[in-house]
């Protein structure tokens, strides 16, 4: 069996992060934008775990646990904001929602 080198994990993480950034910049649906942000967070988590394994420390896994907690809070707050926007504006399209103009 051949071991999987750390460079492959880092390359996969960079590809996932780039897909997430492109999705955030291109898409207009806030739910899809949140999914792309979660993809970017998971890419960072993969980097933490891969580098922690490479250097032989458990710090990477601890950072992942904290990152997952932050991601869960971000999703809860973000979905609450989306529901509030839908109730007031009856749309969730990013281009049509502007809270500063009434």
Q: Yes or no: say if 79 and 87 are a contact pair by the CB < 8 Å rule.
A: no
Residue 42 lies in a domain: yes
- Indicate which CATH number applies to the domain containing 38: 1.10.287.3510
Query: How confident is the model at residue 1, as a pLDDT?
Result: 83
Query: How confident is the model at residue 86, as a pLDDT?
Result: 84
Query: How confident is the model at residue 91, as a pLDDT?
Result: 77
**How far is it, in rounded angstroms, from Cα 59 to Cα 63?**
6
Q: Yes or no: say if 94 and 33 are a contact pair by the CB < 8 Å rule.
A: yes
Residue 28 lies in a domain: yes
Residue 64 lies in a domain: yes
Q: Please, what is the angle between helix 30-55 and helix 59-89, to 10°?
A: 180
Residue 99 lies in a domain: no
pLDDT tens, position by position, for the chain (102 residues)? 888 999 999 999 999 999 999 999 999 888 899 999 999 999 999 999 999 999 999 999 999 999 999 999 988 998 898 888 888 877 777 777 766 555
Domain count, the chain: 1
pTM of the model: 0.84
Residues ≥6 apart with Cβ < 8 Å to 61: 48, 49, 52
């Amino acid at each position: 069996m051949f071991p999987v080198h750390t460079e492959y994990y880092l390359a996969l993480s960079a590809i996932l992060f780039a897909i997430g950034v492109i999705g955030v910049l291109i898409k207009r649906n806030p739910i899809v934008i949140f999914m792309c942000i979660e993809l970017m967070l998971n890419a960072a988590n993969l980097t933490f775990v891969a580098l922690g394994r490479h250097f032989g420390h458990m710090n990477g896994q601890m950072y992942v646990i904290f990152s997952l907690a932050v991601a869960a809070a971000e999703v809860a707050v973000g979905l609450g904001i989306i529901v509030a926007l839908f109730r007031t504006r009856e749309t969730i399209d990013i281009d049509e929602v502007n809270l500063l103009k009434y």
